[in-house]
Amino acid sequence: MRVGEKLPQLQGQMIQRTRRLQVWFIRVCSGILVWACLLQLVSVGEMWHPRLLTGLAGSTRMWVRVEDPLPSSPPPLVPAREYTSNGFLKVSCNGGLNQMRAAICDMVTIARLLNLTLVIPELDKTSFWADHSNFEDIFDLRHFIGSLRDEVRIIKRLPKKFSQRYQYQPLVMPPVSWSNEKYYLQQILPLFSKHRVIHFNKTDARLANNGISIELQRLRCRVNFQALKFTHEIEALGNKLVRIIQEKGPYLALHLRYEMDMLAFSGCTRGCSEEEAEELKRLRYAFPWWREKEIVSEERRSQGLCPLTPEETALILQALGFVNTTQIYIASGEIFGSERRLEALRATFPRIVKKEMLLGPEDIRLFRNHSSQMAALDFMVSVASNTFIPTYDGNMARVVEGHRRYLGFKKTIHLDRKRLVELLDLHQNGTLSWDEFSDAVRLAHERKMGQPAHRRIADKPKEEDYFYANPRECFCKSTSCDDLLGTGNKTIIEPDMIPKKGV
């Protein structure tokens, strides 16, 4: 409630409204397939998928019901699933908000598979972002526990007898990355005969992207799309932000991942001054767990491993056909080199907005020192945007892309950075004219707009498409999902943002 107390009355009303919506969502969503909820969710976002459109008429009617006063009694909870718990699963998530979000979905799924009791996940407080937020500062705890009752038992903390104060020592271990059901059933489950509590101290990518039963894949989605809701405070401020931007017209959310941590760890310094490059290098050496120390920036860049610079981004957006009146929301933290580096982008696209410009200092004050809460706002604005473009494919890019697919394949342009730096260099040294460059950029991205597609399956898990970027099992009817394919040629046309040549 810390933030809520400070919110002006208008936001109080929004919170009320959001609560009513939530109540309604719980009622409508509980026990039904994620699919059904999707139909209601898309009625607020734009979409073009014909199959989803068929369901829209009905869902609009249901949406209107939100305006009706709801009975004041709390919504009925879904009946809890009865099972004998095999033990307690405690988890400490690692990484930034979106990496942890995916991990939470995985951990619920593992707890369900093994019939465990899950303790509310601990969030990372020691990562580069050093945010002290707990689960309940970011996510609606009651909703999370209540809406998953029919799958898995979730408790706020371990029973006293298992706490450290009582000298109980749980088994602490990181599960093997990208493991499947067999690993958890055969390697992890037996450990519970000796230990009542197992503590997974790492959670990133511990469950395979593929080869998991459809029920469990759908549970991952249910957690992601339904059980994980931000707190009322974050939702209210995020909705306010979205409303302010939408009042000015359609917008592109640009995840300009040109941030200090990204540059320090990737070793990408193009466009930086010598002092800046030194500063980044010092930072990289200061983090002992970052193993790779000596990096040649240009090599990295040519392999497509650098985030696009603000200057490169300006050219690519123009090449893709975005006109200079496009409203661009910068969904990132502090841009490295700040205004100096944003200049090129702003010169081409004067309608750049940032949350700091749109919200009052009072609105943002309590969020400012909490990178995960700020990231939650960016998440909301990015999911709601007309087009989303990340300049690097990290966890935020992927999780937001997945959410947008779920909302009816809203356009996400997945930049092919390796190809783009080739083209940029050829254009800049005069080999490619603007038109040739622009055509090549468009051609390279025709099929990279978040259309329905299969996930790529590879020999190495690292090379596979990430489940949460394209959780297709959750929004198609047949298990093969072929019913979704072949419909990805259409695009959302935005009056202010129409690419010149039909991207």
Ligand X SMILES: *[C@@H]1O[C@H](CO)[C@@H](O)[C@H](O)[C@H]1NC(C)=O
Question: Which residues are near ligand X by CB under 6 A?
Answer: 83, 86, 114-115, 172-174, 189, 201-202, 324, 350, 365-366, 369, 425-426, 429-431, 486-487, 489
Least Cα distance to 250 among 335, 322, 341 occurs for 322
Closest CA to 129 of 337, 390, 332: 332
Distance of closest approach, residue 340 Cβ to ligand X, in angstroms:
20
| Tokens found for residue 78 | 């879904």
Nearest approach, Cβ of residue 292 and ligand X (Å): 19
Q: Which residue number, 58 or 350, has a Cβ lying nearer to ligand X?
A: 350
Whichever of 62 and 426 has its CB closer to ligand X, that residue is: 426
Q: Return the H-helix or E-strand segment holding 50.
A: helix 50-54
Give the dihedral sign, CA 194/195/199/203. Answer: positive
Instruction: Provide the minimum distance between the beta carbon of 89 and ligand X in the complex, in angstroms, as a whole number.
Output: 13
CB of residue 162 vs ligand X: minimum separation in angstroms? Answer: 17
Supply the minimum distance, in Å, between the C-beta of residue 73 and ligand X: 30
Euclidean distance between CA atoms 401 and 409, whole angstroms: 9
Residue closer to ligand X (CB basis): 132 or 282: 132
Closest distance to ligand X from the beta carbon of 486 (Å): 5
Contact 42, 56 (CB under 8 A): yes
Q: How far is the CB of 17 from ligand X (least distance, A)?
A: 27
For ligand X, which is the closer residue by CB, 346 or 455? 346
Q: Please count the helices (runs of H) and the strands (runs of E) in the chain.
A: 21, 10
When the beta carbons of 49 and 220 are compared against ligand X, the nearer one is: 49
Q: Kindly state the smallest distance separating residue 384's Cβ from ligand X, in Å.
A: 26
CA distances (Å), origin 256, targets 131, 200, 263, 341:
21, 32, 12, 11
Which helix (H) or strand (E) covers residue 265, if one does? helix 260-266
**Closest C-alpha among 102, 498, 478 to residue 326:** 498
Show the tokens assigned to 234: 């974050």
Residue closer to ligand X (CB basis): 400 or 424? 424
Residue 101 or 301: the one with the smaller Cβ distance to ligand X is 301
47 and 484 Cβ atoms separated by less than 8 Å: no
Residue 255's H or E segment, with its range, is strand 251-255
How far from the centroid of its chain's Cα atoms is residue 124's Cα? 16
CB of residue 93 to ligand X, shortest distance in Å: 11
Q: Name which of 140 and 151 has its Cβ closer to ligand X.
A: 151
Structure token pair of residue 468? 């949460």
We find the least distance from the C-beta atom of residue 270 to ligand X, in angstroms, to be: 14
3-class DSSP state of 14: helix
CA dihedral 333, 337, 338, 339 (to 10 degrees): -160
What DSSP element (H or E) covers 172? strand 171-173
For residues 66 and 173, which CB has a smaller minimum distance to ligand X in the complex?
A: 173
Distance, C-alpha 488 to centroid of its chain:
22
Q: Which amino acid, one-letter code, is at 205?
A: A
Q: Are 121 and 92 in contact (CB under 8 A)?
A: yes
Query: CB-wise, 397 or 441, nearer to ligand X?
Result: 441
In the complex, the smallest distance separating the C-beta of residue 115 from ligand X, rounded to whole angstroms, is: 4
Q: Which is nearer to ligand X, 62 or 305 (CB)?
A: 305
Rg of the chain over Cα atoms, rounded to whole angstroms, equals: 23
* Residue 460 vs residues 101, 119, 210, 300, 463: alpha-carbon distances, Å: 23, 31, 12, 21, 5
